[in-house]
């Protein structure tokens, strides 16, 4: 995996962490989906361990690099929507965050 792609994928995961915690809960389906996605992207074992601490709420969430994510807005918004639908329930807070992210990525 190229370094540029690796950096982008990690930033997407950081954003998805924010989305998953938008309703102040981490549904098991959301956590499993996010971790599976991170593994599928080929993130390092160190990054996966770090992601698990965020999924469990042990560490404060890292902010994503929105400037980098803007470059591939459609891809990012698709990933966010997929994450929101992973637990088969979209809370009002999660729907709101999708709209906010779309605005931030303009």
Task: Enumerate the domain spans of the chain.
Answer: 3-104
Q: What is the pLDDT of residue 89?
A: 66
Looking at per-residue pLDDT, the higher value among 96 and 90 belongs to: 96
CB 27 within 8 A of CB 35: no
Q: What is the pLDDT of residue 29?
A: 82
Residue 1 has pLDDT above 80, yes or no: no
> Residue 31 CB: number of other CB atoms within 10 A?
19
Residue 13 has pLDDT above 60, yes or no: yes
Q: What is the pLDDT of residue 81?
A: 83
**pLDDT tens readout for residues 36-92:** 989 988 888 999 999 999 999 999 999 999 999 999 999 999 988 887 777 666 667
101-105 contact pairs (CB < 8 A, 24+): 101/15, 101/19, 101/76, 101/77, 102/77, 104/66, 105/66, 105/69, 105/70, 105/73, 105/76, 105/77
Nearest to 93 by CA among 29, 28, 24, 17: 24
């Amino acid at each position: 995996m190229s370094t540029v792609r690796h950096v982008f994928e990690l930033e997407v995961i950081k954003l998805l962490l924010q989305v998953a915690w938008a309703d102040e809960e981490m549904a098991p389906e959301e956590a499993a989906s996010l971790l599976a996605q991170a593994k599928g992207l080929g993130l390092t074992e160190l990054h996966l361990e770090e992601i698990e601490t965020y999924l469990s709420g042990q560490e404060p969430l890292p902010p994503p690099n929105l400037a980098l994510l803007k470059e591939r807005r459609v891809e990012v918004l698709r990933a966010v929507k997929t994450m929101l639908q992973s637990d088969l329930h979209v809370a009002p807070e999660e729907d709101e965050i999708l709209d906010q992210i779309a605005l931030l990525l303009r």
